[in-house]
Amino acid sequence: QAQLVESGGGSVQPGGSLRLSCEATGSIKYIDEMGWYRQAPGKQRELVATVGGGNTNYADSVKGRFTIVRDKSKAAVYLQLNSLRPEDTAVYYCSVRTRFLGDYWGQGSQVTVSS
């Protein structure tokens, strides 16, 4: 069974940038949507951005700062994080939603924004 492997997390100062990557180890069929979610300590997991069906969707808190890109040649999705703020600190998870095979989740990538 395919797995999602994330990379690119790390620590940056406020105003800095990071790029998160998520790629499947094998083939995933019937993909409806790919996206990124995050979970900060003591908080519920929340949507960051999704892409699918020709549409992209962003949380209000990241609009204009984050960009999601999907590679349709393979099951891969990327998240460019610019103008990072301390409140962006969280574990970021990529996800793939399929039509018939359920959802896939990455292992999580820590993003820490601190001066």
| pLDDT attached to residue 72 | 82
Report the chain's C-alpha Rg in angstroms. Answer: 14
pLDDT band at 11 (very low <50, low <70, confident <90, very high): very high
| Inter-residue contact 60 to 49 (CB < 8 Å) | no
Average pLDDT over all residues of the chain: 96
DSSP letter string, 50-113: EEETTEEEE-TTTTTTEEEEEETTTTEEEEEE-S--GGG-EEEEEEEEESSS-EEE---EEEEE
Q: Which residue is associated with the tokens 């969707």?
A: 57
Kindly report, residue by residue over 96-115, the tens digit of the pLDDT: 999 998 999 999 999 999 99
Task: Determine the length of the chain.
Answer: 115
pLDDT band at 81 (very low <50, low <70, confident <90, very high): very high
Residue 87 CB-density burial (10 A; 0-12 exposed, 13-18 middle, 19+ buried): exposed
Does residue 78 carry a pLDDT above 90? yes
Pick from 27, 47, 52: nearest CA to 37: 47
Kindly report the backbone phi and psi dihedral angles of residue 101, in degrees, each rounded to the nearest multiple of 5, phi listed first: -110, 10
Query: What mean pLDDT do residues 90-99 have?
Result: 96
Does residue 26 carry a pLDDT above 90? no
| pLDDT attached to residue 1 | 84
Q: State which amino acid sits at residue 87.
A: E
Kindly report, residue by residue over 33-64, the tens digit of the pLDDT: 999 999 999 999 999 999 998 999 999 999 99
**CA of 106: how far to CAs of 27, 48, 61, in Å?**
15, 14, 22
